[in-house]
Structure 1
Amino acid sequence: MQQNNGLDKSQIISFAVLCLVLFGFMFYFQRNDEEAEKLKADQQKTEQAKNPVKPTPAANINPNVTPNAIQVSNLENKQLKLEFSSLGGQVSKVELLEYKAYDQKTDKADLPLNLITKNNSSYGFQFKDKTGKTINTKDLVFSPTVAGNAVTMTANYNGAVIQFVYTLLDKYRVDFKVRTKGLANVTSDNKADFIWDYSVRNLEKGRAQEQTHSEFSYAFDNYKEYEYDGRTTMDEPDETLNWIGVKQQFFSSVIEAKNGFTQSKGNQESIEEGEYLKKLNFEGFVEMQGNELNQDFTWYFMPLDLKLLKTYDKNFDEILPLGWAFIGGMNRYFFMPMYNLIASWGISAGWVIFLMTIIVKLILSPIMYKQHKLSAMMKVIRPEIDEATAKFKDADPMKKQQATMEIYRKAGVNQMAGCLPALVQIPIFYALFRFFPNFIDLRGQGFWFAKDLTAYDDLIKLPFSIPFLGEHLSVFAIACTIVILIYTVMTSGNMQQPQQEGMPNMKVLMYIFPITFLFFLNTSASGLSWYYFVSNAINILIILVIKYLILDEKKIHAQIQANKEKPKTEGKFQKRMREMMEKAQEQQKTQETTRGKKK
């Protein structure tokens, strides 16, 4: 690529567009910024004051029940290991046998992966008896019976029999049937209130990232519509929810109601430290027929694997936050299949990402070539631009702009073409921002000093905490920042300083921009940092190839001269800009004439 003698307008436009949109995406979706977290915490405290989330330890649910009186039943298959507590007849422990959880003490994923344990989940059906007393099944003591792959929990309340029948199925499913007999003699309610308190356990490396990905998810309208809420409250008074789930970064606990939940609402509260990330509370009603509660449900304790989620045909694949519309489509139909194809060759995840980067760069190479060719053309006409700038230095700025645009038009230079590379790279950036921390196939895959490509690498540990960086420095993030700086130096060239007082120094801004990436990438997935390190290293190689082997400045100069000789037709954009400038000039002349008359 030819060295630039200054910053042309197409570069300014491209840089501004890219900066604005990327920073917008980065700060909107990376919600671990201190001020955002403080505001969110204040909102949560307000909401929790209205409807507090208070998961109750088992020992305090029923003061008449001692821990020794609580019985535990077990079911297990190749995927799930379950425990059921006689207190409340609830699922009291869920272990996914094919996965491991991260252990902060050993810095390894070597702990049993328990979605539910230590009473972090509590649920029950609530109704009022005929005296007005509130009854919740989670306070009742059930008697368990195990037969094959099923556990039947039976409780009695004032002559009414309540049964919970759990059947362990394949594909991370637990069939859950609720049956009652004689409940009509106890209550006059025609619906029961299902209440579920859930504290999300820390399972991954990178607390802030996992906390951000922990939220409510639910489907309605016969499984056709999907919604999520990662803020403080969820409220669906008019929809019938087909299922409600608590999504974590790579796993989810979901309960499906065959006849749906109505008048649903919930809230959540972030937990700043410890083994739990968030407290979530859900409340929704289920119908009772003839004052009896006979409803069918299904529990899903599942990994967020796209292939698996699609097999359920419940719209579960929407739980995976791959991005909306076009962004999600890029991940589902391009990046994921490409990763799986290359990984099938038997190479490690880091080298798969390396090859993915090369493929993407090859696809984008025609656009990059046009961008660098435009830069070379701008260098050739730079003397004419400088001459026009000097000629109209003391004149109306509008005339100087018109003269500059005329030079561009005669040379056949399309200023707007410089925006194309920036616009193309924005959706790719955001798609990968969603891809790396959510693709379960990368979970636990190490590469060099990164033990898990879905989390940050912390080879450099600090004895203190730096704001926005934390207590570590990511080597991949540092390497990525360095190559971006080198690329910036190579593309900025001998950039001119601002000629007008008060104008920002674009060269300084272009150097600051890569530094901000260090703060962003330091706590992001190391796979993302590795991808952008490779991507920008390839950019540097492409620049060198274009500069020394492809672009010929003499030929470009000849092409520009030939363009000047050709009759020019004014494009719609150029015509619109010219008309706007002419109108602005007329208004300025009118204002000057009016001022002269007043004097």
Structure 2
Amino acid sequence: MQQNNGLDKNQLISFALFSMLLIGFMFYFQNKQQNEEQLKEGENSAKVTQTVQQNPAKPAIATNLNDSVKTTSIQSIELKNKELTLGISTLGGQISTVQLNEYKAYDKPADKNDKPLLLLDKNNSAYGFQFKDKTGKVFSTKDLVFSPSQKGNSVTMQANVNGAIIQFTYTLLDKYTVDFDVKTQGLSQLIQDQKANFIWDYNVRGQEKGRSQEQTHTEFNYTFNNYKSFDYDGRTTMDEASETLNWLAIKQQFFSAVIEPQNGFKNSKGSQEMVEEGEYLKKFNFDGQVALAGNELNQNFKWYFMPLDLQLLKSYEGKNFDELLPLGWSFIGTMNRWFFIPMYNFISSWGIAAGWVIFLMTIFVKIILSPVMFKQHKLSAMMRVIRPEIDEVNTKYKDADPMKRQQETMAVYRKAGVNQMAGCLPGLLQVPIFYALFRFFPNMIDLRGKSFWFAKDLTAYDDVIKLPFHIPFLQDHLSIFAIACTAVILIYTIMTAGNIQQPTQPGMPNMKVLMYIFPVTFLFFLNTSASGLSWYYFVSNAINILIILVINYWILDEKKIHAQIQANKQKEPKPEGKFQKRMREMMEKAQEQQKMQQQQAAKGKKK
């Protein structure tokens, strides 16, 4: 049989028909796709990105919004300096893209900060001015298509609405500031109110590793009272009907977008909604009124897209921007601003790794607190020596009134010259320090992205140990720094638990058990917190353990302490301090009330 490698007549006809049918389908779907793309151009933001050169063609003036959308292509104009790259869309005449050039966002697959840091992108932000015309209909600049005219780092956007001209001029200034000048002409012929509403919808994109921590720091911030007063809202709806806002910020953990109106926002309202998963953290909506002059909107605004660096924020004099950095209220914030941040900056100027900077910070804090810590550990040793006599009192007055037993116990301490309250001072000092550092580590932008050992970012948790399941509060990982910190706190607790006096009153909890539980609960707190905080407290508690060992074995002599206590007993007791006197009087009063209640109860039974 001869092999035929060609095509017969029927095959040729079939092939020709199939080709014609295929070409017809291609033309049909191509036309359909073009129609769909043209429709999308009118409904959504820019599909075509085009940088408009200087002296462009005059804008096409449409008689209504629909004609404008259909006849004008959507473009994006780029403005750029060292710090920012902006994209300004002709749809709405608004800033549609903001990239901070000197920073990177967290990339989860790579587990490091190597993505472009985009505050605005992919239509996650939309803002504009909303007006009501004389027929009662509402229209917004967000829906208009503007025509651009660019000159250097300034672009003017112009739109025509039924004969009225709306003009936005954006000028990228130094660093992180964008001047936003708004002018209208002929608007007074269209609208009936002496006000416009500035509407801003913003879906905040996550930039950091710790989602829950970043969500906590993502919130409304604003000033009023001529920049003197500051407030924030991270959970509920915002309602400032009586105040004029000098600026409004939607801030994240390390970055913020701020809008500042020349004459302020009045009757401001806002809402926020948590996003459980995905690239966005929260959905924000803001509505604030701006005043018109003669039914025309001629007002200057400024946008700021900036990192939350304290030195940078302070450089904007009179704006009160440094309040954007949540370092804590009152004394806590003062401690961070004037102690911990300067200390960190000073040590880091030596050029050492961030983890070792934190280590030396811990040493310096311990040196400052060393006199108080020494008194605390000396008191602990004295209480350990006097423990047999306290146990003897508890045994002697075992069946007595609890108040009587407590009074006798305090008398033993007083005769021995042991002030129980002196041991509370170091603990009280640690509370503001702990809270200050709790604010410091997750908000110190200089620590952002700094690695140390197995922690890739000291402002986020380390997750070397990944779990195949999710545990409430712990999530799906175990932080090595958190585990290490919990372990040293537990060791320190065991070493000091012997000094804790167990309350003898019926129904009182076992204090030692509670002390052992506390370090375990600390693990749940630290596991999703900044690893820098866990590292600091690991070093701090390790030093505490070392101090106890040195004091117990090389400095304090328990025999001498015992002799001193015995000598104190032979002396006249020191007069009661004000606090001790007050405590004794309170206990005596409580004891009298208890006796009266018992007597009344006894009379009631006899009746």
Q: Give yes or no for TM over 0.5.
A: yes
Structure 1 residues 127 and 502: alpha-carbon distance in aligned structure 2, compared to 1, 3 A threshold: same
Query: Which of these two proteins has the greater Rg computed from alpha carbons?
Result: 2
Structure 1 residues 228 and 591: alpha-carbon distance in aligned structure 2, compared to 1, 3 A threshold: closer
Where does the alignment leave 5 or more consecutive residues of structure 1 unmatched? Answer: 1-55
Structure 1 residues 336 and 198: alpha-carbon distance in aligned structure 2, compared to 1, 3 A threshold: same
Which residue of structure 1 lines up, in the alignment, with residue 129 of structure 2? 125
Larger RCO, structure (CA 8 Å, separation 6 or more): 1
Which residue of structure 1 lines up, in the alignment, with residue 471 of structure 2? 466
Counterpart Cα distance in 2 of 1:495 and 1:255:
55
Contact 1:76–1:168 at 8 Å: present in 2 too? yes
Alignment partner of 2:265 out of 242, 261, 265: 261
Alignment partner of 1:135 out of 136, 139, 142: 139
Which residue of structure 1 lines up, in the alignment, with residue 460 of structure 2? 455
1:372-387, aligned counterparts within 5 Å?
Answer: 372-387=377-392
Which residue of structure 1 lines up, in the alignment, with residue 14 of structure 2? none
Q: How many residues align?
A: 543
Deviation at 1:391, TM superposition (A): 1.0
1:249 partnered with 2:258: no
Which stretch has the larger CA shift, 233-242 or 382-391? 382-391
Counterpart Cα distance in 1 of 2:78 and 2:201:
22
1:548-559, aligned counterparts within 5 Å?
Answer: 548-559=553-564
Residues 486-532 of structure 1: per-residue CA shift (max 9 Å, x gap): 11111113878776664322222111110111111111001001111
Structure 1 residues 169 and 538: alpha-carbon distance in aligned structure 2, compared to 1, 3 A threshold: same
SS in 1 for 2:386: helix
Please report the TM-score for the alignment, with normalisation by the length of structure 2. Answer: 0.87
Deviation at 1:382, TM superposition (A): 1.4
Which stretch has the larger CA shift, 289-298 or 558-567? 558-567
Alignment partner of 2:585 out of 562, 579, 582: 579
Residues 441-496 of structure 1: per-residue CA shift (max 9 Å, x gap): 00010101111100001111111111211111111111111111111111113878
Which residue of structure 2 lines up, in the alignment, with residue 541 of structure 1? 546
Deviation at 1:184, TM superposition (A): 1.1
Counterpart Cα distance in 1 of 2:519 and 2:491:
10
Deviation at 1:136, TM superposition (A): 0.3
Alignment partner of 1:157 out of 145, 148, 161: 161
Letter in 1 for 2:274: S
Letter in 1 for 2:235: R
Deviation at 1:331, TM superposition (A): 0.6
Letter in 2 for 1:71: Q
Deviation at 1:588, TM superposition (A): 3.8
1:375-414, aligned counterparts within 5 Å?
Answer: 375-414=380-419
Which residue of structure 2 lines up, in the alignment, with residue 115 of structure 1? 119
1:127-526, aligned counterparts within 5 Å?
Answer: 127-313=131-317, 314-493=319-498, 502-526=507-531
Residues 100-155 of structure 1: per-residue CA shift (max 9 Å, x gap): 00011111111000000001110000111112110100100100111011010000
Letter in 1 for 2:578: K
Structure 1 residues 281 and 323: alpha-carbon distance in aligned structure 2, compared to 1, 3 A threshold: same
Where does the alignment leave 5 or more consecutive residues of structure 2 unmatched? Answer: 1-42, 48-64
Deviation at 1:583, TM superposition (A): 2.8
Counterpart Cα distance in 2 of 1:367 and 1:268:
46
% identical aligned pairs: 74
Deviation at 1:174, TM superposition (A): 0.4
SS in 2 for 1:406: helix
Letter in 1 for 2:295: N
Which residue of structure 2 lines up, in the alignment, with residue 41 of structure 1? none
Deviation at 1:555, TM superposition (A): 1.9
Deviation at 1:268, TM superposition (A): 0.3
SS in 1 for 2:145: coil
Counterpart Cα distance in 1 of 2:245 and 2:603:
72
Counterpart Cα distance in 1 of 2:315 and 2:209:
29
Deviation at 1:432, TM superposition (A): 0.5
SS in 2 for 1:69: coil
Counterpart Cα distance in 1 of 2:242 and 2:377:
55
Structure 1 residues 57 and 544: alpha-carbon distance in aligned structure 2, compared to 1, 3 A threshold: farther
Contact 2:380–2:499 at 8 Å: present in 1 too? no
Counterpart Cα distance in 2 of 1:236 and 1:478:
44
Contact 1:217–1:319 at 8 Å: present in 2 too? yes
Structure 1 residues 63 and 518: alpha-carbon distance in aligned structure 2, compared to 1, 3 A threshold: farther
Counterpart Cα distance in 1 of 2:433 and 2:71:
54
Please report the TM-score for the alignment, with normalisation by the length of structure 1. Answer: 0.88
Alignment partner of 1:71 out of 53, 72, 75: 75
Counterpart Cα distance in 1 of 2:227 and 2:347:
34
Letter in 2 for 1:112: P
Deviation at 1:381, TM superposition (A): 1.6
Residues 314-352 of structure 1: per-residue CA shift (max 9 Å, x gap): 000000000001000111110000000000000010000
Contact 1:59–1:67 at 8 Å: present in 2 too? no
Structure 1 residues 504 and 236: alpha-carbon distance in aligned structure 2, compared to 1, 3 A threshold: same
Letter in 2 for 1:570: E
Structure 1 residues 70 and 481: alpha-carbon distance in aligned structure 2, compared to 1, 3 A threshold: same
Deviation at 1:578, TM superposition (A): 2.5
Contact 2:402–2:504 at 8 Å: present in 1 too? no
Contact 2:245–2:266 at 8 Å: present in 1 too? yes
Which residue of structure 1 lines up, in the alignment, with residue 576 of structure 2? 570
Deviation at 1:187, TM superposition (A): 1.2
Structure 1 residues 522 and 581: alpha-carbon distance in aligned structure 2, compared to 1, 3 A threshold: closer
